[in-house]
């Protein structure tokens, strides 16, 4: 026990010293990365969002902000949508990260703060338990303000729906709660997707959801479309939850019903992430949390998996293999291979599992704009150059990368956020929601994703209007063609006499035919 306390003190000491060391170092790590990508970042030569002469390097379109936040870069393939985002998304160039010796400048501390620190949110949740086709249960938590008397939203509402996918461990973080609060203040209907057994969802089957299996999410989206047919659907994922969102968008393609999506601090190459692992304090905490969540189902899970192997595993890979790579799952693996080491040595089952669950396996089928917000000092994802597929953003016009020099994992703390923390806590959050006015405590990443949704929606609306105008000029107006078609359908119906005895005869004929 003593060695654990000593190790924890060392980690805290390193986390406190590291920000100042990086700040007063000789070179900013973001400068080295952007220079490796061929992007110049000198303040005197940097180009703002309004600039018309944007330089293109290695097929990437990069927006460099002003001197105060010049570590932000938008990396994507040049396109009309990319130019529209550069012009209308001002938040992309207004990021001012915390620097110096304050704790918010530490990537580790602000990441732990956003993931573990409690948040007194004025938002309440109304839960819908959805029974799936295999009798499993998932849950949708609809966020509503505490002052709202009406707990349910009408199905005739045209408000956009924001589907939020938390991390794959089921932890509802401070970041998710703040996102629900911000989305409500901007007129969205936030809904948090909870997987089987996550966040108090009952486990009615012995089947758990695999890392990148979008079957349960597909049924949840169908329910949302049934409940809110008039509203647009947007999606946001957090951390490892991005694997599920990217898998869903890749498998469904143009039938995803999603207008645009955002991934906050995503983990792209998930197999390598599980194999290489995190730093031991973070991995130890995640493994312990997952074991605590699964311990309540130890008896029922023992019917299909070997729980002794599961609860003696010391790594995230060991847990994932014990849950999904044993008998009854992809690639049957004997238990003798794991009793000593706590990790399955049969790489065939492990590779077969990720062939079906790797988030980027069907990335070419994605048909909507997807924005990824990442920080170079992310302690969870790992090294930027080896964990972010930069070639994907350079070649695929649907993917956009907003890369910041600092921000940690789902942190993105700003100087204004740190200086006004006390003032913001004193202001009533319920009053801010009631007035619909954006508070100064809103996270920069949340402002950026909401601007991205608005800009992409406006861009596609303008494109649709331009297509309709061009069709009318060619004499092929879609509205006129629709009226002609409806007129023809009515005229054919008039040929059948609408008499009661004819209707009864047709009904009797149908009954005799079916018999």
Q: 88 an active-site residue?
A: no
Return d(Cα 416, Cα 102) in angstroms, integer.
Answer: 13
Question: Which of 329, 398, 409, 446 is an active site residue?
Answer: 409
Torsion, CA 323, CA 325, CA 328, CA 331, rounded to 10: 170
Tokens found for residue 47: 């180009």
Tokens found for residue 378: 């992310």
Question: Which of 378, 394, 398, 446 is an active site residue?
Answer: 378
CA distances from 292 to 113, 201, 380 (A): 21, 15, 21
Q: Give me the sign of the Cα torsion angle 181, 182, 183, 187.
A: positive
Tokens found for residue 374: 């990442």
Return d(Cα 514, Cα 502) in angstroms, integer.
Answer: 18
Q: Give me the sign of the Cα torsion angle 23, 27, 32, 38.
A: positive
Angle subtended by helix axes 444-473 and 174-185, to nearest 10 = 50
Torsion, CA 3, CA 102, CA 410, CA 63, rounded to 10: -140
Spacing of C-alpha 369 from chain mean position:
13
Say which residues have a Cβ less than 8 Å from residue 218's Cβ, sequence separation at least 6.
248, 251, 252
Return d(Cα 16, Cα 59) in angstroms, integer.
Answer: 39
Return d(Cα 5, Cα 36) in angstroms, integer.
Answer: 40
Q: Give me the sign of the Cα torsion angle 424, 429, 431, 437.
A: positive
3-state helix, strand, coil in the chain (%, to 5): 50, 10, 40
Q: 394 an active-site residue?
A: no
| DSSP 8-state class, residue 263 | E
Residue 149, classified by CB atoms within 10 Å of its CB into exposed (0-12), middle (13-18) or buried (19+), is: exposed
- Order of strands across the sheet with 137-145? 73-75, 399-404, 370-375, 260-264, 233-238, 161-165, 189-194, 137-145, 123-131
| DSSP 8-state class, residue 99 | -
Tokens found for residue 154: 């009408």
Catalytic residue annotation: 378, 409
């Amino acid at each position: 026990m003593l060695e654990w306390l000593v190790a924890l003190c060392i980690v805290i000491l390193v986390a406190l010293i590291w920000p100042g060391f990086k700040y007063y170092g000789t070179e900013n790590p973001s400068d080295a990365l952007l220079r490796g990508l061929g992007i110049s970042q000198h303040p005197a030569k940097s180009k703002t969002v309004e600039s018309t002469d944007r330089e293109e390097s290695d097929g990437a379109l990069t927006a460099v902000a002003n001197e105060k936040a010049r570590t932000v870069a938008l990396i994507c393939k040049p396109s009309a949508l990319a130019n529209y985002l550069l012009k209308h998304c001002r938040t992309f160039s207004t990021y001012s990260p915390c620097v110096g010796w304050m704790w918010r400048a530490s990537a580790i501390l602000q990441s732990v703060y956003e993931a573990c620190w409690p948040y007194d949110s004025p938002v309440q949740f109304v839960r819908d338990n959805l029974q799936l086709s295999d009798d499993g249960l998932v849950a949708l938590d609809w966020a509503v303000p505490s002052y709202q008397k009406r707990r349910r939203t009408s199905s005739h509402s045209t408000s956009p729906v924001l589907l939020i996918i938390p991390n794959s461990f089921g932890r509802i973080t401070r970041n998710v709660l703040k996102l629900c609060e911000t989305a409500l203040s901007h007129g969205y209907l936030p809904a948090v997707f909870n997987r089987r057994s996550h966040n108090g969802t009952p486990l009615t089957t012995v089947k758990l959801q695999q890392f990148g299996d979008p079957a349960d999410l597909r049924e949840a989206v169908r329910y949302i479309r049934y409940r809110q047919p008039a509203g647009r659907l947007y999606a946001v994922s957090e951390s490892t939850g991005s694997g599920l969102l990217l898998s869903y968008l890749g498998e469904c393609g143009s039938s995803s019903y999603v207008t645009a999506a955002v991934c906050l601090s995503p983990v792209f190459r998930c197999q390598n992430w599980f194999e290489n692992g995190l730093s031991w304090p973070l991995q130890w905490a995640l493994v312990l949390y997952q074991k605590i969540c699964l311990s309540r189902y130890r008896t029922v899970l023992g019917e299909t998996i070997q729980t002794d192997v599961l609860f003696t595993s010391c790594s995230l890979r060991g847990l994932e293999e014990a849950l999904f790579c044993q008998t009854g799952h992809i690639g049957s693996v004997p238990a003798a291979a794991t009793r000593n080491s706590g990790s399955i040595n049969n790489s065939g089952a492990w590779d077969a599992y990720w062939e079906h669950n790797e988030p980027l396996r069907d990335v070419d089928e994605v048909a909507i704009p997807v924005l990824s917000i990442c920080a170079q000092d992310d302690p969870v994802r790992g090294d930027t150059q080896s964990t972010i597929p930069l070639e994907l953003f350079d070649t695929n016009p649907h993917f956009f990368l907003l890369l910041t020099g600092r921000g940690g994992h789902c942190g993105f703390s700003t100087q204004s956020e740190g200086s006004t923390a006390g003032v913001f806590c004193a202001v009533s959050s319920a009053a801010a929601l009631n007035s619909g006015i954006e508070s100064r405590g809103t996270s920069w990443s949340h402002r950026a994703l909401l601007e991205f949704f608005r800009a992409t929606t406006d861009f596609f609306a303008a494109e649709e209007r331009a297509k309709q105008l061009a069709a009318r000029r060619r004499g092929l107006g879609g509205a006129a063609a629709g009226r002609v078609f409806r007129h023809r359908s009515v005229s054919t119906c008039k040929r059948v006499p609408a008499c009661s005895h004819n209707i009864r005869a047709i009904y009797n004929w149908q009954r005799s035919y079916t018999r």
